[in-house]
Structure 1
């Protein structure tokens, strides 16, 4: 979780997401489907009016049926469309299957390896989050590995066209996966035209986390392109980034992106298109100050 972010609901049945110790928002739970402790974290699934089934880990919102596309489409397609022809991908985390589902929309994709440390996340996704993974967890092109993503990347000899870090927030147990050493290990696992994407934090609530995150990426990759998306479940504006040795998504025009969407047979996009590709990388002045 980001520094300063806390867990704890305002009252029973009122699911509360704190962005900082002073700010946050709430969603009422209509029904609690699951709440249990896995070997790694507290796992919950709730039914809600605005978001449908809502998935939480350690008291923090991860994804939901009705707004998952804001997060997953932007996490994947900014880099995937910029790549000339992605065939192989690695997802670290992402046991809900949402990132895998977006990658598997590409006709060129031959294999996706998903490395999730907590089997409980995958089991919950299979049981409750069909609207998030849309069958991707059973796709024959997908290989599931239940193991530590950090150890997997460091021990792997495989290389990939795309790496998607679909992680819990920095500041908690996943903190080592936001550090320079891990980014360098990921860079070594990319093909020559490959790229890595990840989410970082809110530029409004966590400016220090943005500065640190972008600096760490730049210590490992020569090309780092930050971009923004508004995610309802995360309380507003959120930064993601694409990092690479050679690939720069800002060179792709809206027309280029739309042509590639059509040529690659990508369907069922609810957020991403050529205009949004370009718009995501248009940073407000206060955000530019954080990343320059």
Structure 2
């Protein structure tokens, strides 16, 4: 039976999709739901929030991963905190210099359901020998790891409740400690229209830890809004790349199957709308 699947943007607004429930389970950590929809195919939800969908996952995952990965001259090791659906890891393994992509996912049920239900998102990355999966608390992994990574992607739920700690200066400092000197961290920040304070606070926290913080924005159909991302580093600044340089790197690395990202979109996502500029100003 079809039902309306609501995605709240804030206390006053939201969007919905028509869909049919495929699976619902209460894990030790969260409520997990899978729906089939006509608009976006299969949708993955956690605790009542849309995480990813078959048809628009590339809007989010390509923008989370490639601006930093392309800006890095030769990334060898990458870490994904969260990202149990496999979408971010699948984008990372497109970069041939990456020897290891390490996923630290809290909830094993997320990985289990993703493997079974979301092949169009992970595209077989769980069978890629370069992917190493650790099931456990990503924050604890950052506290204890002795590894160093060129790229860290924090592919997390929104900073609500216990997840808010993951967007704190203390967590970003732990991530920096796990990075190489020229490494880069990426994460999403939410909607500058529906949650402007969240964007402002996330950038302020990043700037306490990193010398270069580059906010950028893209529309995500599943989330019903323009969505904020950030790349943070002491060395790398993806805003310095021209479209020609980006397309050159894509060609040199023989990166295929990009549905969103190219040199022109790289430049475009870093173009800040006027109404957003006060939020992102240092």
Same fold (TM over 0.5): yes
Question: Aligned residue for 2:28?
Answer: 39
Alignment correspondent of 2:17: 27
Does residue 247 of the first structure (1) align with residue 236 of the second (2)? yes
Structure 1 partner of 2:80: 91
Q: Distance in 1 between matches of 2:206 and 2:106?
A: 23
Q: Which runs of 5+ in 1 are unaligned?
A: 1-11
1:202-213 equivalences in 2 (<5 Å): 202-213=191-202
State the distance in 2 between where 1:24 and 1:211 align: 21
**TM-aligned CA deviation for residue 249 of structure 1:** 0.4
Please list every run of 5 or more consecutive structure 2 residues that lacks an aligned counterpart in the other structure.
Answer: none
Separation in 1, partners of 2:140, 2:267: 35
Q: Which residue number corresponds to residue 5 of structure 1?
A: none
How do 1:184-203 residues align onto structure 2 when only pairs under 5 Å count?
Answer: 184-203=173-192
Distance 1:291 1:90 in 2: 26
Q: Identify the residue that residue 220 of structure 2 maps to in structure 1.
A: 231
Deviates more, 1:166-175 or 1:139-148: 166-175
Superposed CA offset, 1:81-111 (max 9, x none): 0000111000000000000000001111100
Measured against aligned partners, the alpha-carbon deviations of 1:151-204 in whole angstroms (never above 9, x if no partner) come to 000111110000000000012331111000000111111112110000001000
Q: Tell me if 1:136 matches 2:125.
A: yes
1:147 to 2:145 alignment: no
What SS does the aligned partner of 1:173 have?
Answer: helix
**Partner of residue 18, structure 1:** 8
What's the Cα RMSD here?
1.0
Runs of 4+ deviating beyond 3 Å: none
TM-score, structure 1 normalization: 0.95
Q: How many pairs were matched up? A: 281
Matches within 5 A, 1:108-187: 108-187=97-176
Structure 1 counterpart of 2:65: 76
In the alignment, which residue of structure 1 is the partner of 2:93?
104
Q: Distance in 1 between matches of 2:208 and 2:276?
A: 19
Between the aligned partners of 2:241 and 2:179, the Cα distance in structure 1 is 20
Distance 1:214 1:286 in 2: 16
Paired with 1:224 and 1:262, the residues of 2 have a C-alpha distance of: 27
For residue 32 of structure 1, report the CA deviation from its aligned partner. 1.3
1:48 aligns with 2:37: yes
CA drift of 1:280 comes to 0.6
